[in-house]
Structure 1
Amino acid sequence: MTDIVAERMARLRAKMAETGTGLVAIAPGSHMQWLVGFYPHPDERPCLLLVAADKAGFLMPALNADAARQDSDLPMFTWADADGPDAALADALSELFADRAGRVVLDETMRADFALLLLDALPGIERAFTEDTVGQLRSMKDEAEFRKLKRSALLNDEAMKAAWAGIKPGMTEKEVARIVSDHFAANGARVQFSIVGANENGAHPHHATSDRVLREGDAVVLDIGGRIGGYPSDMTRMAIVGEAPEGYGQIHSIVEKAVQAALAAAKPGVPAKAVDKAARDVIDAAGYGEFFVHRTGHGLGIDVHEPPYITATSETILEEGMVFSIEPGIYLPGRFGIRLEDIVIMRADGPEILSELPRDAFVVRV
């Protein structure tokens, strides 16, 4: 077991004791990746990492066991396709969770059949998801994770600059997105997403990048992210093709003020909903509240979307080390949309922005 795995296991067990959790069950995916540094090939065969108060082990399909042993020295309760997982799971629970004391925490991303298999083996036990155990621990990044996120953010800056430099009237949204993906690939990364929305398409927050041709007078939303070193990036900026559409400058100014208000409100000890409110109040006061149609932000780590979520109802208390987006927007149907997004890490004195690009719109000269 590596030092980082041992440290994260110890932190998880401290949280388990604090929350009355007797067993944490994690399926192949980002939770397992964070905790033990790998995950086996995910398919329909039940595979679970089971962490108890003083022991841990895997319910492991036999065909994956040899490969998994190269990445972990935890015991493996293996099962073959010919036999099914029931007996191996019973053995695992007898060894790891014999006293059945405390609740069971389930990885909320696991397949429903995995969850039901486990719960059927533990009838009547209290259950919860990972919000106050693995999820809460993952929301607070250490400096090693921060360095990976910063590296990814700086590469994203360069991909955005490449897109800006390449935009010309007559190109399609997809051609602009291809510049982004090509830049990531040329620098050892892979694109996670590339939303390019011109004018009326930009009024759809999650527009599917299309063959729409860019024209002079378009306001273009560019929401892009890549992944390098296991960690993603996420940022939204604007480009103007020639002259901005009528009213653009006013709306951009409002969204920028909303970003600044959210940044000012974000402090350790503040509930996430206060950050959402700070951004929303600016847009409401300007008369565009009905056009701000989504939350103010989401966490970023191994996953592009993970806790904490910066919503109007979130009681999550922001803590030092949390990484999340601040991304208010105004979307005017049939006209254009504006979203300005930065990823921040919470420091003791407030948020530090990972990107080094200004939020001003880039103007394409035509």
Structure 2
Amino acid sequence: MTAAAPAPFTAADYAARMARATEAASDAGLDGVLVAPGPDLVWLTGYRPVETERLTLLVLRAGRDPALVVPTLEAPDAAKSAGAPALTLHDWTDGTDPYTAAAPLVGPAGRFGISDNGWALHLLGLMERLPGTRYTALSDALPMLRAVKDAAELDRLAAAGAAADAAFEEIRRVAFAGRRESEVAADLAGLLRRFGHEQVDFTIVASGPNGADPHHEADDRVIRQGDTVVLDFGGLKDGYGSDTSRTVHVGEPDDEERAVHDVVRAAQEAGFAAVRPGAACQDVDRAARAVVDDAGYGAYFIHRTGHGIGVTTHEPPYMVEGETRPLVPGMCFSVEPGIYLPGRFGVRIEDIVTVTEDGGRRLNNTSREMVIVG
């Protein structure tokens, strides 16, 4: 049985988030924030419209009420969203100019952060109406806007992690040998839904030489006895993400396969041990990478050690060299070193971790030992 759904976020929760975003924008020297449909809009307002060519735009400016520009045909749904009591709705009808409706809320001049997934069509329309405005990507201007989670968000992330763990405990018991990667991937997707995910974002099943491709799409390759198989899967449960990786082996591994797995497991442990308030994001990457380098496999660890997670499965902060931003309690991100030997096999081990007051806490707790499957 899946756990009961958590209490929904309230209008007060969304109002506080919008106020926080407005204040952060002012602190960053912005005149406001413009948010298109997507994860930022969901996090700020609870509103998840269909993403089309019609302009929907949240406008946050200091000293003004939050305003949401919406197509008239979608205004009733916007008015029902959890964050609507804190919003002033401005609708526009088909056949009229949506930028005329938006311009007075934005302009006439200023520098604005705009959500990364805003359509170029809409940005160009605003620039044409408001030539005195300038824009910067929200992920550049306010990269930590959604990074620090509150207690309710952490509970959702922990539940999503537990659901992914439950899926792994089931998938390790199914037959692998003689089945296509795509069949095992379908099993994983079904298990994620069975344990409460409303959205499955990815189910990587990378066997044998396919395991050397970190983002391999499960295909029709038949999994064989003796294969190493990378499993990486996740999605959204109650609006918050899961993402975990484990590497299993069909039958007993040889000495090298076991040795590589041991190196990755030690690297993952080192990355986790580096998590603490005040440490730089890059410190997590450095700790994990040092283990892989020392074992002589540094050239085969070809991606960053981690990424943030929340209402999307990839978001800031990133555990990568050059990211000096300090870790703060409430941040959540993956720790996922890997080794990928072209044409042969790959190994990756991934947990979602949250920063606590005195270190870190794993949100995935299945065995990180090599698991033997049939």
Global fold match (TM > 0.5): yes
Deviation at 1:110, TM superposition (A): 0.8
Q: Within the alignment, does 1:87 sit opposite 2:100 as a pair?
A: yes
- Post-superposition offset of 1:91: 3.4
Distance 1:218 1:188 in 2: 30
Q: Which residue of 1 aligns with 2:203?
A: 194
Paired residue for 2:369? 360
Measure how far apart 1:125 and its partner are.
Answer: 3.3
- C-alpha distance in 2 between matches for 1:35 and 1:135: 15
Q: Deviations over 1:222-278 (max 9, x none)?
A: 101132111121000011111214401111111111112211222211221121111
Match of 1:59 in 2: 69
Look up the match of 2:136: 128
Mapped partners of 1:322, 1:163: distance in 2: 29
Q: Secondary structure at the match of 2:54?
A: coil
* Kept after mapping to 2: 8 A contact 1:203/1:334: yes
Identity, % of aligned positions: 39
Indicate conservation of the 8 Å contact 2:166/2:195, yes or no.
no
Please point out which of 203, 206, 229 is paired with 2:238.
229
What's the counterpart of residue 68 of structure 1?
A: 78
Per-residue Cα deviation, 1:21-78 (whole angstroms, up to 9, x for no partner): 2110000111010001113221001110000002221121111112211221322222
Q: For 1:342 and 1:280, locate their aligned partners in 2 and report how far apart those are by CA, in whole Å.
A: 16
Structure 2: gaps (5+ residues): 1-9
Alpha-carbon offset, residue 133 of structure 1: 6.1
Contact 2:278 2:326 survives alignment (8 Å): yes
Aligned with 1:165 (options 161, 173, 192): 173
AA matched with 1:127:
Y
Name the aligned partner's letter for residue 179 of structure 2: M
Q: Is the 8 A contact 1:77 1:91 kept in 2?
A: no
**Which residue in the other structure is 1:345 paired with?**
354
Structure 1 unaligned runs (5+)?
none
SS at match of 1:25: strand
Moved more, 117-126 or 198-207: 117-126
Contact kept? 2:210, 2:345, Cα under 8 Å: yes
Q: Distance in 2 between matches of 1:124 and 1:281?
A: 49
Residue 132 of structure 1 deviates from its aligned partner by 6.4
**Matches of 1:8 and 1:37 in 2, distance apart?**
11
From the superposition, tell whether residues 245 and 111 of structure 1 become closer, same or farther in structure 2 (CA, over 3 Å): farther
Summarize the Cα distance change of 1:353–1:188 in structure 2 as closer, same or farther, 3 Å threshold.
closer
Choose which of 138, 150, 153 in structure 2 pairs with 1:142: 150
Distance 1:86 1:301 in 2: 31
- The amino acid that maps onto 2:92 is W
Shift of 1:105: 0.8
Q: 1:250 aligns to what?
A: 259
Task: Give the structure 1 partner of residue 91 of structure 2.
Answer: 78
Matched residue, 2:159: 151
Aligned residue in 2 for 1:116? 124
In the alignment, is the contact (CA less than 8 A) between 1:77 and 1:92 conserved in 2?
A: no
Tell me, in whole angstroms, the C-alpha distance in 1 between the residues paired with 2:138 and 2:129: 20
Residue of 179, 182, 189 corresponding to 1:181: 189
Alignment coverage as a number of residue pairs? 360
Task: Give the deviation of 1:210 after TM superposition.
Answer: 1.1
Q: CA deviation at 1:134?
A: 5.3
Q: How far apart, CA to CA, are the structure 2 residues paired with 1:219 and 1:363?
A: 9
Deviations 1:158-205 (A, max 9, x none): 111111100332111111112111222333424221100111111110
Deviation at 1:296, TM superposition (A): 0.5
Note closer, same or farther for the CA distance 1:13–1:132 as it changes in structure 2 (3 Å cut): farther
Matches within 5 A, 1:269-348: 269-348=278-357
Cα–Cα, structure 1 residues 87 and 254, in superposed 2: closer, same or farther, change >3 Å?
Answer: same
TM-score when normalising by structure 2: 0.92
Distance in 1 between residues matched to 2:117 and 2:22, nearest whole Å? 20
Q: Which amino acid aligns with 1:62?
A: T
Aligned mates of 1:221, 1:245 — CA distance in 2: 16
